[in-house]
Structure 1
Amino acid sequence: MPIAVVIPLYNHENYIGEALRSVLEQTRPVQRIVVIDDGSRDRSVDMVRKFEDNRITLRTQENAGAHVTLNRAVAEAARDCEFIAVLNSDDLFHPERLEKCVGFLESNPSADVVCTALKLIDPSGAVLEDSHPKARWARTVWAAGEDDLCAWLGIANFAKSSSNFVARREAFLTHPFRAYRYVHDYFFAAICALEHKLGVLRDELLYYRTHPSNTIKSDPLEKVTREVLQMNLDLVREIAPRLAGSLQMRRDFAAYLRNLLGNHADFRAEAFVQVLGQLVAQMPTEALDGMVRGMTGAEFPELSEPSSRVLKKQIAEAEKISAMKNEMERSNWLRIGRKLGFLSDSF
């Protein structure tokens, strides 16, 4: 099956060459590489033009944002390629990434998307030492991994980046990247997990570059937390029509939400509660009461599930999260974050 890699490019003249080489050196060759420059003001386009490989297609456009650029690149690649991998222009693929990821999708027809463990690299491309706070943070997030991907995503966005998605084209076309600045990858991972279309490989097959200009680190925290709130409200809206007819989706989203409400990162439960309160307050009392009274055990079997069974599940989940938090408490990154006001003392 044909494979394409799509690369949204913006002001990465120092990194795009290395990114392209990591694609060209894959053990499973690609048939197409679609690079779309999103209005770079540096020499990024010139760096791409140095590559004389007829598999590379370069497009340029006025600055439109990452989600527009990604969706345009996907649409072009989807014309003749069954599998599509995303690579942001400052990240790198492990040489075996496509061989293992596409192989996973070929062997698991129920999965439409796969992401992998990753390594963090610095601006020069060197892998961060295990003792580095950011590397330890990432390792702890992956150590918290469990079979329930929805619950795991509630703890943290373990996918980390849109670079970490290799998918069948239908997955990207069905769920195009949304107009977020920071979390289009998080929404995509969450909706795919809730639909049981997401797979995970524990192999470290992506090199994610950390540098001062990473989008989510270069803007005020309030913008990030507000967008994470918006993303989760959008997620509720997206799945709402399907919740009544699917006990499994209700359970999966409950597992996600249960961990999300105690999230250590950029979700603020208090803000979520405020929005929920306003929505309930605006709903007519008769409509709200009727909705609750209309829920029967026949349609919603969880209403009659023994409390002891529910409690046993929740205790097991709480113990796992507690162990993760204890590990993270030893991180200098958290202590620095609290001192600078990036994280509350509640975590």
Structure 2
Amino acid sequence: MTNPLISVILPVYNREKYIEDAINSILDQSLDNFELIIIDDGSVDGTVSKIRTYTDNRIKFFQNQKNRGVAFSRNIGIKKARGTFIALMDSDDISKSQRFAKQVNIFNNNPDISICGSWMEAFFSGKLIKQPELDNQIKAQLFFNCSINNNSVMYRRKALQNLFFDKNFEHGEDYEFWIRASWKRKFYNIQESLVRYRYHDGQLTQIFKNEQEKIGVNLRLALFKKINYSQEKYPDEILTKFLEFRNYFTLGEMQLFLTWLDHLRMKNLESAIYPAEEFSKVIDRFRKEIIFKVFLTNKNKEITKGWRIKALKYLHPSEIIEIVKSKLKLRIKRV
């Protein structure tokens, strides 16, 4: 029997309200040479009953004996996949009918690209969830957040052979997966929405938001550590304060953080771990983000006016001018 072109991996847990929409959006694809691998992760509602109503022989249905988590279920699908490409899908989203055709077209015309995502749009509001287009842009954005919409991804199966989702990063496993993939292969994001994204209270991203943020900070620090800076001089405890921007930090700690950013830029130029231009943009963005939070917001209530005045000595003159201009604009808006 000839292997399918695409293996679609669809883990599901208690999604009786949405699972039919998700399945139908795959079965209605304009490119129909695929297998749909559905892994039920111990659902206790009517999800399984709805899946069993389908008779399409392209559907391969598997059940975990108990709830094991989305990373475990996706890995089951990866191991069972036979297609040239693997497409990821979430059980409460909808893939637009041209999604597979457009992604396969990217691969056919760009043999160096191994991973292809796209934008997504939210149900009801139509808000676009955009991601950068090119490989260097996508990899640089990983320093801030996951720059691949996981449920829009298709990738070459052989290019990421033996790469699986790590259950140790549950609720942030997709971010960690794409960081590991970024060291091996080239990315691309199609600059249009190919997936409709459902936003609701039952989503794991909403339930485990705080855990995801903590995992994200640890993953970003791990990326920076590839540059091999002195962790004794720049300890995680202080750097995390700024990346999370939750706990009070001293003027000395702020100086240390800004020095760390300059140090990273120089170390990367020496070691060439990351493309210099894109990495420099990452550093500039981090610096600007922290300065904005310190001087133009009240996110950290313990930072006083006197504290801010003393902190000005750590800024470049151009940054001070930009702060003054921004404050003036805010005042004009309030009038």
Range into which the TM-score falls when normalised by the shorter chain: 0.5 to 0.7
- The answer on whether the counterparts of 1:25 and 1:95 sit within 8 Å (CA) in structure 2 is yes
- The answer on whether the counterparts of 1:114 and 1:199 sit within 8 Å (CA) in structure 2 is yes
Q: In 2 relative to 1, CA 172–18 (structure 1 residues): closer, same or farther, beyond 3 Å?
A: farther
- The answer on whether the counterparts of 1:91 and 1:207 sit within 8 Å (CA) in structure 2 is yes
Q: Which residue matches 2:18?
A: 15
Q: Which residue matches 1:280?
A: none
Shift of 1:321: 9.0
Shift of 1:86: 0.9
SS at match of 1:72: helix
2 CA distance for matches of 1:319 and 1:13? 42
Gaps of 5+ in 1: 122-126, 130-134, 245-249, 251-260, 278-299, 327-333, 340-345
With normalisation by structure 1, the TM-score equals 0.64
2 CA distance for matches of 1:176 and 1:312? 28
- The answer on whether the counterparts of 1:229 and 1:268 sit within 8 Å (CA) in structure 2 is yes
SS at match of 1:174: coil
1:95 to 74, 94, 97: 97
In the TM superposition, 1:232-251 aligns within 5 A as 232=220
2 CA distance for matches of 1:69 and 1:303? 42
2 CA distance for matches of 1:235 and 1:313? 11
Q: In 2 relative to 1, CA 94–206 (structure 1 residues): closer, same or farther, beyond 3 Å?
A: same
1 CA distance for matches of 2:197 and 2:98? 16
How many residue pairs match? The answer is 263
In the TM superposition, 1:115-130 aligns within 5 A as 115-121=117-123, 127-129=124-126
- The answer on whether the counterparts of 1:157 and 1:186 sit within 8 Å (CA) in structure 2 is yes
Q: In 2 relative to 1, CA 269–45 (structure 1 residues): closer, same or farther, beyond 3 Å?
A: same
Shift of 1:118: 0.9
Shift of 1:54: 0.6
CA distances 1:267-319 after superposition (whole Å, capped 9, x unpaired): 53799x9xxx9xxxxxxxxxxxxxxxxxxxxxx893499xxxx8998479737
SS at match of 1:206: strand
- The answer on whether the counterparts of 1:35 and 1:56 sit within 8 Å (CA) in structure 2 is yes
CA distances 1:78-110 after superposition (whole Å, capped 9, x unpaired): xx3111101111111011100011111122111
In the TM superposition, 1:168-317 aligns within 5 A as 168-179=156-167, 180-219=169-208, 221=210, 223-232=211-220, 268=244, 302-303=269-270, 314=280
- The answer on whether the counterparts of 2:140 and 2:278 sit within 8 Å (CA) in structure 1 is no
- For the aligned residue pairs, the C-alpha RMSD in angstroms reads 4.2
Q: In 2 relative to 1, CA 145–110 (structure 1 residues): closer, same or farther, beyond 3 Å?
A: closer
Percent identity, please. 22
User: Are positions 1:44 and 2:32 aligned together?
Assistant: no
SS at match of 1:109: coil
65-74 vs 181-190, greater mean Cα deviation = 181-190
Gaps of 5+ in 2: 230-238, 254-266, 301-307, 309-335
Q: Which residue matches 2:321?
A: none
- The answer on whether the counterparts of 2:139 and 2:147 sit within 8 Å (CA) in structure 1 is no
Q: Which residue matches 2:137?
A: 148
1 CA distance for matches of 2:34 and 2:185? 28
User: Are positions 1:318 and 2:306 aligned together?
Assistant: no
2 CA distance for matches of 1:236 and 1:320? 12
176-185 vs 150-159, greater mean Cα deviation = 150-159
2 CA distance for matches of 1:172 and 1:304? 26
59-68 vs 185-194, greater mean Cα deviation = 185-194
Shift of 1:59: 0.7
Letter of the 2:95 partner, please give it. F
In the TM superposition, 1:18-167 aligns within 5 A as 18-61=21-64, 62-77=66-81, 80-121=82-123, 127-129=124-126, 135=127, 138=129, 142=131, 148-160=137-149, 162-167=150-155
2 CA distance for matches of 1:81 and 1:315? 38
- The answer on whether the counterparts of 1:75 and 1:173 sit within 8 Å (CA) in structure 2 is no
- The answer on whether the counterparts of 1:5 and 1:30 sit within 8 Å (CA) in structure 2 is no
Q: Name which structure has the greater RCO, CA cutoff 8 Å, separation 6+.
A: 1
- The answer on whether the counterparts of 2:159 and 2:185 sit within 8 Å (CA) in structure 1 is no
SS at match of 2:68: coil
2 CA distance for matches of 1:38 and 1:231? 27
2 CA distance for matches of 1:106 and 1:116? 16
- The answer on whether the counterparts of 1:146 and 1:152 sit within 8 Å (CA) in structure 2 is no
2 CA distance for matches of 1:104 and 1:178? 28
Shift of 1:148: 2.2
Q: Which residue matches 2:329?
A: none
SS at match of 1:98: helix
2 CA distance for matches of 1:233 and 1:18? 38
